[in-house]
Amino acid sequence: MYRIVKAEKLADKIYLMDVEAPRVARACEPGEFVIVKTDETGERIPLTICDYNQETGIVTIVFQIVGASTQKMAALKAGDAFQDFVGPLGCASEFVHEDLDVLKNKKMLFVAGGVGTAPVYPQVKWLRDHGIDADVIVGAKTKDMLILEDEMRAVAGNLYITTDDGSYVRKGMVTDVVKDLVENQGRHYDVCVAIGPMIMMKFVCLLTKELNIPTVVSMNPIMVDGTGMCGACRLTVGDQVKFACVDGPEFDGHLVNFDEAMKRQQMYRTEEGRAMLRLKEGDTHHGGCGHCGGDE
């Protein structure tokens, strides 16, 4: 069992939990995720790691209520425990393995939307711990939906906040801020990392392609099973078929077919849609195994 030492509501339907998981914490790197189960019969839920402390053995997760399983998770309090807490899984952010001297000469921009702020935070924190400042844009629908502002401000070189309705700092989309920084303020960026809703990442990538800024996106929003077996996170990257949970979750955003991924995500939510995908994709539908019954 994995004891919850802190449970906090960050915003409407968004929760943060600190979990005792020493072995996971010792191996964590930015960009990776865990799979949690509340009990023996609970659903497997993949969640990107928000923070980790290798000394205390604490791993921080942030999640949003989207169904019955996450609603059940939200009811857990400090002192309760998860049945399973598996990880770290997936591939770490590419920059973690870059030469530090090379990395220090790069100008990096992070764009976070909504709950995507949680997986952006450990990446920016890792950079700050290694003497590298990065600019960060955080977008939320309203001021009340903004999360981890203080934490992000403590690690970002420059933090820019925008809200859809203008209820806090400035009104507009994250793409408006990117455009303003580059075209009006003359900022140069060598790489952009965008994490958030699929539609946000799509439009960030369309803009950064115009601006000639290489862009990395995290496809964790489409993960379901977290092992490559259910086929839910199948996507096309360039001319290759990838699975977010085993090949990612991070990919070259300029090569991701977002329209296909979003359409597929909608289809996967219904039994009829899953049947159509099985028929269309054949043996590659379930991450290569073809017989796991991921829709059951």
Q: Of 61, 89, 117, which residue is a domain's last? A: 89
As a whole number, mean pLDDT of residues 75-85 equals 94
Tell me if the bond preceding 249 is cis, omega within 30° of 0. yes
Q: Is residue 247 in a domain? A: no
Same domain, 121 and 207: yes
Count: domains in the chain? 3
Q: Judge if 64 and 121 occupy the same domain.
A: no
Q: Are residues 138 and 152 in the same domain?
A: yes
CATH of the domain at 145: 3.40.50.80
d(CA 116, CA 120): 6
Tokens representing 229 are 């077996």
**Is residue 211 domain-shared with residue 226, that is, in the same domain?**
no
Q: Residue 157: helix, strand or coil by DSSP?
A: coil
- Could you tell me if 118 and 169 lie in one domain? yes
> Does one domain contain both 118 and 179?
yes
- Is 249 part of a structural domain of the chain? no
In a domain, 64, yes or no: yes
Distance CA(192)–CA(204), nearest Å, equals 9
Indicate whether 67 belongs to any domain: yes
pLDDT exceeds 60 at position 90: yes
Q: Which of 35, 64, 89 is the last residue of a domain?
A: 89
**116 lies in a domain?**
yes
Do residues 161 and 78 make contact, with C-beta atoms less than 8 angstroms apart?
Answer: no
Domain membership of residue 251 (yes or no) is no
Q: Is residue 211 domain-resident?
A: yes
Residues 181 and 129 in one domain: yes
pTM, two decimal places: 0.84
| Range name among 45-54, 99-108, 166-175, 217-226 with the lowest pLDDT average | 217-226
Q: How confident is the model at residue 226 (pLDDT cuts 50, 70, 90)?
A: low
Distance CA 9, CA 25 (A): 22
Per the prediction, the chain carries an average pLDDT of 86
Contact 80, 6 (CB under 8 A): no
Placement of tokens 């859809």 in the chain: 164
Q: List pLDDT tens digits, range 21-77.
A: 999 999 999 989 899 999 888 888 888 899 999 999 999 999 998 888 889 999 999
Residue 38, domain member (yes or no)? yes
- Indicate if 61 and 156 belong to the same structural domain: no
CATH number of the domain residue 12 falls in: 2.40.30.10
Verify that 103 and 199 share a domain, yes or no.
Answer: yes
Residue 260 contacts by C-beta under 8 Å, 6 or more apart in sequence?
235, 236
Weakest-pLDDT range from 55-64, 69-78, 179-188, 274-283: 274-283
Q: Where are the alpha helices (DSSP H) in the chain?
A: 22-27, 68-74, 100-103, 117-129, 149-155, 174-179, 198-210, 244-247, 258-268, 271-281
- How would you classify the pairing of strands 215-218 and 191-195? parallel
d(CA 214, CA 216) in angstroms, rounded, equals: 7
Same domain, 166 and 116: yes
Q: Let me know whether 230 and 125 are in one domain.
A: no
Domain residue limits at 74: 2-89
Same domain? 105 vs 212: yes
pLDDT of res. 231: 61
Last residue of a domain, one of 51, 69, 89: 89
Nearest one of 43, 47, 60 to 5, comparing CA atoms: 60
